[in-house]
């Protein structure tokens, strides 16, 4: 590895999967204040919601992983948008049809 090309804080870091507790020791520049002792040494700890050990693509399991309620938030946004659309359509005044004589009185040219 070439010297002087990595940032000063490039160091060993442990990533921990919160779904199944799997830990990965690798090098990173990520900033964290959490610590973990692994194999007798203390390392900075980064907690992740999903990793290769719990992701459905890598494990072959079919399941929805929704830690932060993203699917529910999306559905709620869609419902609110639909209700807002319906309210706008209901509140929109219907156009009044005018007879030719009223249109002509207003100075409009007759339609061909």
**Reported confidence tier of residue 62, pLDDT bands at 50, 70, 90:** low
Domain boundaries, the chain: 11-64
In this prediction the pTM is 0.48
Q: What is the pLDDT of residues 12-55, one digit of tens each?
A: 999 998 888 889 999 999 999 999 998 899 999 999 878 777 76
Q: Mean pLDDT throughout 95-100?
A: 63
CA angle (66 as vertex; 60, 70 as ends), nearest 5: 135
As a whole number of angstroms, the distance between CA 54 and CA 13 comes to 19
Phi-psi region of 88 (alpha: psi -120 to 50; beta: other; left: phi over 0): alpha
List Cβ neighbours of 78 (8 Å cut-off, separation of 6 or more).
none
């Amino acid at each position: 590895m070439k010297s002087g090309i990595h940032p000063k804080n490039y160091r060993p870091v442990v990533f921990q999967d919160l779904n199944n507790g799997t830990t990965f020791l690798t090098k990173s520049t990520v900033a964290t204040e959490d610590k973990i002792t692994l194999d007798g040494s203390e390392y900075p700890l980064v907690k992740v919601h999903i990793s290769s050990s719990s992701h459905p693509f890598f494990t072959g399991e079919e399941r929805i992983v929704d830690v932060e309620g993203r699917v529910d938030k999306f559905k709620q946004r869609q419902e609110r948008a639909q209700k807002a659309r319906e309210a706008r359509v209901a509140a929109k005044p219907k156009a009044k049809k005018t007879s030719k004589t009223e249109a002509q009185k207003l100075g409009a040219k007759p339609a061909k």
